Structure 1
Amino acid sequence: MINGGRTRAGTIAGLALVAVLGIGCVITYRQLSDGLPDLNYQSLSAVGEEGRMARDGLALADFGDSDGYGYVRDFEQIVDMKFLSAKEIAVIEAGTATAARATVAKSPQGRVVAIVVKLASPEVAQDVAAELDQLQIEAGMRRVLAPPSVHRAEIAGATPDGRVHYAHDRLLVRVDLAAAPGVPLGPAFTGVINRQLKELSADG
Protein backbone atom coordinates (compact mmCIF):
# COMPACT_ATOMS: atom_id res chain seq x y z
CA MET A 1 0.00 0.00 0.00
CA ILE A 2 2.80 2.37 0.86
CA ASN A 3 4.59 1.59 -2.43
CA GLY A 4 1.30 2.02 -4.30
CA GLY A 5 0.76 5.40 -2.67
CA ARG A 6 4.26 6.48 -3.57
CA THR A 7 3.72 5.37 -7.18
CA ARG A 8 0.47 7.32 -7.45
CA ALA A 9 2.08 10.36 -5.86
CA GLY A 10 4.98 10.11 -8.28
CA THR A 11 2.62 9.82 -11.22
CA ILE A 12 0.64 12.87 -10.11
CA ALA A 13 3.83 14.85 -9.60
CA GLY A 14 5.04 13.85 -13.06
CA LEU A 15 1.79 14.92 -14.69
CA ALA A 16 1.88 18.23 -12.85
CA LEU A 17 5.43 18.85 -14.11
CA VAL A 18 4.39 18.11 -17.70
CA ALA A 19 1.45 20.51 -17.35
CA VAL A 20 3.69 23.28 -15.99
CA LEU A 21 6.18 22.79 -18.82
CA GLY A 22 3.38 22.87 -21.37
CA ILE A 23 1.98 26.12 -20.00
CA GLY A 24 5.46 27.61 -20.02
CA CYS A 25 5.94 26.69 -23.66
CA VAL A 26 2.63 28.32 -24.62
CA ILE A 27 3.48 31.52 -22.78
CA THR A 28 6.95 31.66 -24.33
CA TYR A 29 5.54 31.09 -27.84
CA ARG A 30 2.99 33.87 -27.38
CA GLN A 31 5.65 36.27 -26.16
CA LEU A 32 7.86 35.47 -29.11
CA SER A 33 5.05 35.69 -31.65
CA ASP A 34 3.87 39.01 -30.21
CA GLY A 35 7.37 40.36 -30.72
CA LEU A 36 7.60 39.31 -34.36
CA PRO A 37 7.09 42.08 -36.92
CA ASP A 38 4.10 42.00 -39.25
CA LEU A 39 5.81 41.78 -42.63
CA ASN A 40 2.77 43.30 -44.27
CA TYR A 41 3.41 46.54 -42.41
CA GLN A 42 7.18 46.37 -42.14
CA SER A 43 9.40 48.80 -43.97
CA LEU A 44 12.36 46.73 -45.03
CA SER A 45 15.73 48.41 -44.89
CA ALA A 46 18.56 47.28 -47.11
CA VAL A 47 22.24 47.84 -46.52
CA GLY A 48 23.34 50.84 -48.54
CA GLU A 49 26.75 52.10 -49.62
CA GLU A 50 29.63 51.69 -47.19
CA GLY A 51 27.48 49.60 -44.86
CA ARG A 52 25.03 52.37 -44.07
CA MET A 53 21.37 51.44 -43.68
CA ALA A 54 19.32 52.48 -46.67
CA ARG A 55 16.32 54.71 -46.09
CA ASP A 56 12.77 53.53 -45.53
CA GLY A 57 11.49 51.18 -48.22
CA LEU A 58 8.34 53.35 -48.38
CA ALA A 59 10.46 56.40 -49.02
CA LEU A 60 9.27 59.98 -49.40
CA ALA A 61 11.55 62.83 -50.35
CA ASP A 62 12.40 65.70 -48.02
CA PHE A 63 10.26 68.48 -49.48
CA GLY A 64 10.79 71.04 -46.73
CA ASP A 65 9.52 71.79 -43.24
CA SER A 66 7.27 68.86 -42.29
CA ASP A 67 3.96 69.34 -40.49
CA GLY A 68 4.56 66.19 -38.44
CA TYR A 69 2.96 63.17 -40.05
CA GLY A 70 5.83 60.84 -39.30
CA TYR A 71 3.50 58.70 -37.18
CA VAL A 72 1.60 57.42 -40.27
CA ARG A 73 2.14 53.68 -40.72
CA ASP A 74 -1.00 52.43 -42.48
CA PHE A 75 -3.56 53.60 -45.00
CA GLU A 76 -6.32 54.12 -42.45
CA GLN A 77 -4.19 56.85 -40.88
CA ILE A 78 -3.93 58.51 -44.28
CA VAL A 79 -7.71 58.36 -44.61
CA ASP A 80 -7.92 60.15 -41.27
CA MET A 81 -5.86 63.01 -42.72
CA LYS A 82 -8.99 63.86 -44.76
CA PHE A 83 -7.38 65.15 -47.95
CA LEU A 84 -8.45 62.27 -50.21
CA SER A 85 -11.90 62.18 -51.76
CA ALA A 86 -14.28 59.29 -51.12
CA LYS A 87 -13.73 58.04 -54.69
CA GLU A 88 -9.94 58.14 -54.27
CA ILE A 89 -10.14 56.26 -50.99
CA ALA A 90 -12.34 53.58 -52.58
CA VAL A 91 -9.92 53.10 -55.47
CA ILE A 92 -6.93 52.72 -53.17
CA GLU A 93 -8.73 50.44 -50.74
CA ALA A 94 -9.75 48.20 -53.64
CA GLY A 95 -6.04 47.65 -54.22
CA THR A 96 -5.70 46.10 -50.73
CA ALA A 97 -3.92 49.06 -49.14
CA THR A 98 -1.80 48.22 -46.11
CA ALA A 99 1.41 49.93 -45.01
CA ALA A 100 1.75 53.62 -45.79
CA ARG A 101 3.76 56.76 -45.19
CA ALA A 102 2.80 60.42 -45.54
CA THR A 103 4.32 63.85 -45.40
CA VAL A 104 2.90 67.35 -45.48
CA ALA A 105 5.57 69.97 -46.03
CA LYS A 106 5.93 73.68 -46.56
CA SER A 107 8.46 74.40 -49.29
CA PRO A 108 9.46 77.49 -51.31
CA GLN A 109 7.42 75.97 -54.16
CA GLY A 110 4.28 75.65 -52.04
CA ARG A 111 2.50 73.08 -49.88
CA VAL A 112 3.38 69.48 -50.66
CA VAL A 113 1.25 66.52 -49.62
CA ALA A 114 2.82 63.18 -50.51
CA ILE A 115 1.92 59.60 -49.69
CA VAL A 116 3.19 56.14 -50.51
CA VAL A 117 0.95 53.11 -50.00
CA LYS A 118 1.74 49.41 -50.30
CA LEU A 119 -0.79 47.55 -52.46
CA ALA A 120 -1.46 43.95 -53.43
CA SER A 121 0.94 43.69 -56.40
CA PRO A 122 2.92 45.76 -58.93
CA GLU A 123 0.10 45.34 -61.46
CA VAL A 124 -2.47 46.56 -58.97
CA ALA A 125 -0.31 49.56 -58.08
CA GLN A 126 -0.07 50.56 -61.75
CA ASP A 127 -3.81 50.16 -62.26
CA VAL A 128 -4.62 52.20 -59.16
CA ALA A 129 -2.27 54.99 -60.25
CA ALA A 130 -4.01 55.17 -63.63
CA GLU A 131 -7.48 55.15 -62.03
CA LEU A 132 -6.55 57.95 -59.65
CA ASP A 133 -5.20 60.00 -62.54
CA GLN A 134 -8.49 59.53 -64.39
CA LEU A 135 -10.36 60.84 -61.34
CA GLN A 136 -8.27 64.03 -61.47
CA ILE A 137 -9.19 64.55 -65.13
CA GLU A 138 -12.87 63.98 -64.36
CA ALA A 139 -12.59 66.60 -61.62
CA GLY A 140 -11.40 69.24 -64.10
CA MET A 141 -7.62 68.91 -64.10
CA ARG A 142 -5.68 68.44 -67.34
CA ARG A 143 -2.96 65.94 -68.18
CA VAL A 144 0.55 67.32 -68.50
CA LEU A 145 3.65 65.79 -70.08
CA ALA A 146 5.49 63.74 -67.46
CA PRO A 147 8.31 61.20 -67.18
CA PRO A 148 7.54 57.67 -68.43
CA SER A 149 4.94 55.79 -66.32
CA VAL A 150 4.13 58.93 -64.30
CA HIS A 151 0.57 60.31 -64.44
CA ARG A 152 0.62 64.09 -64.07
CA ALA A 153 -2.38 66.40 -63.88
CA GLU A 154 -2.60 70.13 -63.17
CA ILE A 155 -5.14 72.88 -62.78
CA ALA A 156 -4.45 76.59 -63.19
CA GLY A 157 -6.34 79.54 -61.79
CA ALA A 158 -6.25 81.37 -58.49
CA THR A 159 -5.04 78.26 -56.64
CA PRO A 160 -2.87 76.30 -59.08
CA ASP A 161 -2.41 72.67 -58.11
CA GLY A 162 -0.59 69.67 -59.52
CA ARG A 163 -0.85 65.95 -58.74
CA VAL A 164 1.12 62.92 -59.86
CA HIS A 165 0.43 59.23 -59.36
CA TYR A 166 2.74 56.37 -60.23
CA ALA A 167 3.77 52.88 -59.17
CA HIS A 168 7.07 51.60 -57.82
CA ASP A 169 6.84 47.83 -57.52
CA ARG A 170 3.89 47.27 -55.11
CA LEU A 171 3.92 50.90 -53.98
CA LEU A 172 1.52 53.62 -55.05
CA VAL A 173 3.06 57.09 -54.93
CA ARG A 174 1.01 60.29 -54.97
CA VAL A 175 2.44 63.80 -54.74
CA ASP A 176 0.36 66.98 -54.65
CA LEU A 177 1.70 70.52 -54.90
CA ALA A 178 -0.42 73.57 -54.15
CA ALA A 179 1.82 76.25 -55.61
CA ALA A 180 2.77 79.22 -53.45
CA PRO A 181 1.50 82.65 -54.57
CA GLY A 182 3.54 83.95 -57.47
CA VAL A 183 5.26 80.60 -58.08
CA PRO A 184 4.77 79.16 -61.60
CA LEU A 185 3.22 75.72 -61.06
CA GLY A 186 4.82 73.89 -63.99
CA PRO A 187 8.54 74.33 -63.21
CA ALA A 188 7.97 74.12 -59.46
CA PHE A 189 6.02 70.87 -59.74
CA THR A 190 8.61 69.37 -62.08
CA GLY A 191 11.24 69.93 -59.41
CA VAL A 192 9.05 68.35 -56.72
CA ILE A 193 8.32 65.32 -58.93
CA ASN A 194 11.98 64.77 -59.75
CA ARG A 195 12.87 64.91 -56.07
CA GLN A 196 10.44 62.11 -55.30
CA LEU A 197 11.53 60.04 -58.31
CA LYS A 198 15.04 60.01 -56.87
CA GLU A 199 13.60 58.21 -53.84
CA LEU A 200 11.27 55.82 -55.69
CA SER A 201 11.51 55.50 -59.46
CA ALA A 202 8.42 54.91 -61.62
CA ASP A 203 7.71 51.43 -63.00
CA GLY A 204 6.07 51.01 -66.40
Structure 2
Amino acid sequence: MSDAEHRFLLRQARPFRAAAQRTPGPVVPDGRVAHADAHRWHGRPTIGGVRVTVFIRDDTDQLQARPDNQSLIADLRAVVHTVVPVNVMHQKIAVIDEQTVMMGSLNSLSQSWTREIMVTMRGGHFARKSLEHEHAELFARPPKCARCGGTSIELRRRTNGTWFWRCPDTACKTGANGRSNAWNMDIRLGQGRR
Protein backbone atom coordinates (compact mmCIF):
# COMPACT_ATOMS: atom_id res chain seq x y z
CA MET A 1 0.00 0.00 0.00
CA SER A 2 1.42 3.38 -0.95
CA ASP A 3 1.73 6.28 1.50
CA ALA A 4 -1.04 8.12 -0.38
CA GLU A 5 -3.39 5.14 -0.05
CA HIS A 6 -2.57 4.81 3.64
CA ARG A 7 -3.34 8.51 4.21
CA PHE A 8 -6.61 8.09 2.29
CA LEU A 9 -7.70 5.23 4.56
CA LEU A 10 -6.79 7.25 7.65
CA ARG A 11 -8.89 10.19 6.38
CA GLN A 12 -11.83 7.85 5.71
CA ALA A 13 -11.69 6.65 9.33
CA ARG A 14 -12.05 10.19 10.78
CA PRO A 15 -15.90 10.30 10.84
CA PHE A 16 -16.00 6.89 12.52
CA ARG A 17 -13.47 7.99 15.14
CA ALA A 18 -15.35 11.25 15.76
CA ALA A 19 -18.62 9.36 16.26
CA ALA A 20 -16.87 6.90 18.58
CA GLN A 21 -15.57 9.78 20.72
CA ARG A 22 -19.11 11.15 21.08
CA THR A 23 -20.60 7.70 21.72
CA PRO A 24 -17.98 5.19 22.85
CA GLY A 25 -18.45 1.96 20.96
CA PRO A 26 -16.83 -1.31 20.07
CA VAL A 27 -15.03 -0.42 16.81
CA VAL A 28 -11.27 -0.10 16.76
CA PRO A 29 -9.48 2.38 14.44
CA ASP A 30 -8.87 -0.11 11.63
CA GLY A 31 -12.62 -0.85 11.45
CA ARG A 32 -12.52 -4.36 12.87
CA VAL A 33 -14.70 -5.36 15.80
CA ALA A 34 -12.91 -5.02 19.13
CA HIS A 35 -13.12 -8.61 20.36
CA ALA A 36 -12.01 -7.74 23.90
CA ASP A 37 -14.88 -5.29 24.31
CA ALA A 38 -17.58 -7.59 22.94
CA HIS A 39 -18.62 -8.79 26.40
CA ARG A 40 -18.92 -5.18 27.62
CA TRP A 41 -21.53 -4.26 24.98
CA HIS A 42 -23.39 -7.56 24.67
CA GLY A 43 -27.07 -7.34 25.49
CA ARG A 44 -27.30 -3.56 25.38
CA PRO A 45 -30.03 -2.22 23.06
CA THR A 46 -27.83 0.70 22.00
CA ILE A 47 -24.18 1.69 22.15
CA GLY A 48 -23.73 5.01 23.91
CA GLY A 49 -27.38 5.85 23.19
CA VAL A 50 -26.96 5.26 19.44
CA ARG A 51 -28.70 2.48 17.56
CA VAL A 52 -26.15 0.60 15.43
CA THR A 53 -27.42 -1.44 12.47
CA VAL A 54 -25.14 -3.26 10.04
CA PHE A 55 -26.34 -4.80 6.78
CA ILE A 56 -24.14 -7.66 5.55
CA ARG A 57 -24.28 -10.20 2.74
CA ASP A 58 -26.14 -13.40 3.57
CA ASP A 59 -24.63 -16.87 3.78
CA THR A 60 -25.20 -17.59 0.08
CA ASP A 61 -22.10 -15.42 -0.50
CA GLN A 62 -19.12 -17.80 -0.71
CA LEU A 63 -16.78 -15.63 1.38
CA GLN A 64 -19.44 -14.85 3.96
CA ALA A 65 -20.19 -18.54 4.48
CA ARG A 66 -16.59 -19.43 5.40
CA PRO A 67 -16.22 -20.48 9.07
CA ASP A 68 -13.66 -17.76 9.87
CA ASN A 69 -16.02 -15.09 8.51
CA GLN A 70 -18.97 -16.61 10.36
CA SER A 71 -16.91 -16.19 13.54
CA LEU A 72 -16.41 -12.49 12.74
CA ILE A 73 -20.15 -12.11 12.11
CA ALA A 74 -20.86 -13.69 15.52
CA ASP A 75 -18.49 -11.13 17.08
CA LEU A 76 -20.27 -8.34 15.20
CA ARG A 77 -23.67 -9.55 16.42
CA ALA A 78 -22.33 -9.41 19.98
CA VAL A 79 -21.52 -5.70 19.80
CA VAL A 80 -24.14 -4.04 17.58
CA HIS A 81 -27.88 -3.77 17.99
CA THR A 82 -28.95 -5.32 14.69
CA VAL A 83 -27.18 -7.29 11.94
CA VAL A 84 -29.36 -7.85 8.87
CA PRO A 85 -28.16 -10.35 6.24
CA VAL A 86 -29.12 -9.23 2.73
CA ASN A 87 -29.12 -11.46 -0.33
CA VAL A 88 -27.11 -10.09 -3.28
CA MET A 89 -26.13 -6.82 -1.62
CA HIS A 90 -23.21 -4.79 -2.90
CA GLN A 91 -23.74 -1.24 -1.57
CA LYS A 92 -21.06 0.25 0.63
CA ILE A 93 -22.75 3.05 2.55
CA ALA A 94 -22.12 4.36 6.03
CA VAL A 95 -24.37 7.01 7.59
CA ILE A 96 -23.06 8.53 10.80
CA ASP A 97 -25.23 10.62 13.14
CA GLU A 98 -27.66 11.32 10.24
CA GLN A 99 -25.14 13.99 9.17
CA THR A 100 -22.28 12.25 7.34
CA VAL A 101 -22.69 9.85 4.42
CA MET A 102 -19.86 7.77 3.03
CA MET A 103 -20.43 5.92 -0.27
CA GLY A 104 -18.06 4.07 -2.50
CA SER A 105 -16.34 0.75 -2.99
CA LEU A 106 -14.58 0.52 0.39
CA ASN A 107 -15.75 -2.32 2.65
CA SER A 108 -15.57 -0.41 5.93
CA LEU A 109 -15.53 -3.50 8.15
CA SER A 110 -13.19 -5.67 6.10
CA GLN A 111 -10.76 -3.56 4.08
CA SER A 112 -7.41 -5.26 3.74
CA TRP A 113 -5.32 -4.58 0.66
CA THR A 114 -7.35 -3.57 -2.43
CA ARG A 115 -7.52 -0.05 -3.84
CA GLU A 116 -10.89 1.44 -3.00
CA ILE A 117 -12.68 4.77 -2.93
CA MET A 118 -15.15 6.34 -0.53
CA VAL A 119 -16.78 9.72 -1.06
CA THR A 120 -17.72 11.58 2.12
CA MET A 121 -20.65 14.03 2.07
CA ARG A 122 -21.85 16.07 5.01
CA GLY A 123 -25.38 17.32 5.50
CA GLY A 124 -28.46 16.16 7.32
CA HIS A 125 -30.78 16.43 4.32
CA PHE A 126 -28.62 14.20 2.13
CA ALA A 127 -28.09 11.73 4.99
CA ARG A 128 -31.83 11.44 5.66
CA LYS A 129 -32.59 11.06 1.93
CA SER A 130 -29.95 8.33 1.65
CA LEU A 131 -31.47 6.43 4.58
CA GLU A 132 -34.94 6.86 3.09
CA HIS A 133 -33.80 5.66 -0.34
CA GLU A 134 -32.27 2.53 1.20
CA HIS A 135 -35.42 1.92 3.34
CA ALA A 136 -33.07 1.80 6.31
CA GLU A 137 -35.68 2.34 9.02
CA LEU A 138 -37.90 -0.49 7.76
CA PHE A 139 -35.09 -2.87 6.82
CA ALA A 140 -33.35 -2.37 10.19
CA ARG A 141 -36.26 -4.09 11.99
CA PRO A 142 -36.61 -7.66 10.71
CA PRO A 143 -39.53 -9.61 12.17
CA LYS A 144 -39.28 -12.93 13.98
CA CYS A 145 -40.01 -15.98 11.89
CA ALA A 146 -43.72 -16.77 12.12
CA ARG A 147 -42.95 -20.50 11.80
CA CYS A 148 -39.99 -21.20 14.12
CA GLY A 149 -39.73 -17.92 16.08
CA GLY A 150 -36.13 -17.42 14.92
CA THR A 151 -34.60 -13.96 14.82
CA SER A 152 -31.90 -14.44 12.14
CA ILE A 153 -34.08 -13.24 9.28
CA GLU A 154 -32.63 -12.40 5.84
CA LEU A 155 -33.66 -9.59 3.53
CA ARG A 156 -34.18 -10.61 -0.11
CA ARG A 157 -35.60 -9.22 -3.34
CA ARG A 158 -37.71 -11.09 -5.87
CA THR A 159 -37.11 -10.78 -9.61
CA ASN A 160 -40.23 -8.57 -9.81
CA GLY A 161 -38.56 -6.10 -7.40
CA THR A 162 -40.59 -6.96 -4.28
CA TRP A 163 -38.55 -7.04 -1.07
CA PHE A 164 -39.28 -9.83 1.42
CA TRP A 165 -38.07 -11.32 4.71
CA ARG A 166 -36.94 -14.97 4.69
CA CYS A 167 -35.99 -17.36 7.49
CA PRO A 168 -32.70 -19.20 6.77
CA ASP A 169 -33.17 -21.70 9.61
CA THR A 170 -32.92 -25.29 8.36
CA ALA A 171 -36.19 -26.22 10.07
CA CYS A 172 -38.00 -23.55 8.06
CA LYS A 173 -35.99 -23.82 4.90
CA THR A 174 -36.45 -27.49 4.05
CA GLY A 175 -39.82 -29.09 3.38
CA ALA A 176 -40.73 -32.76 3.86
CA ASN A 177 -39.72 -33.46 0.25
CA GLY A 178 -36.25 -31.95 0.84
CA ARG A 179 -36.94 -28.89 -1.28
CA SER A 180 -36.83 -25.33 -0.03
CA ASN A 181 -39.94 -24.22 1.79
CA ALA A 182 -38.56 -21.25 3.72
CA TRP A 183 -40.91 -19.00 5.66
CA ASN A 184 -41.07 -15.61 3.99
CA MET A 185 -43.09 -12.42 4.21
CA ASP A 186 -43.38 -9.65 1.62
CA ILE A 187 -42.44 -6.13 2.73
CA ARG A 188 -44.82 -3.29 1.94
CA LEU A 189 -42.83 -0.14 1.31
CA GLY A 190 -45.78 2.19 0.76
CA GLN A 191 -46.13 5.04 -1.74
CA GLY A 192 -45.98 2.56 -4.63
CA ARG A 193 -42.23 1.95 -4.14
CA ARG A 194 -40.57 -1.43 -4.24
> TM-score, structure 2 length as denominator?
0.27
> Larger % of helix: which?
1
> TM-score, structure 1 length as denominator?
0.26
Higher relative contact order, chain-length normalized (CA < 8 Å, sep 6+): 1
Higher Rg: 1
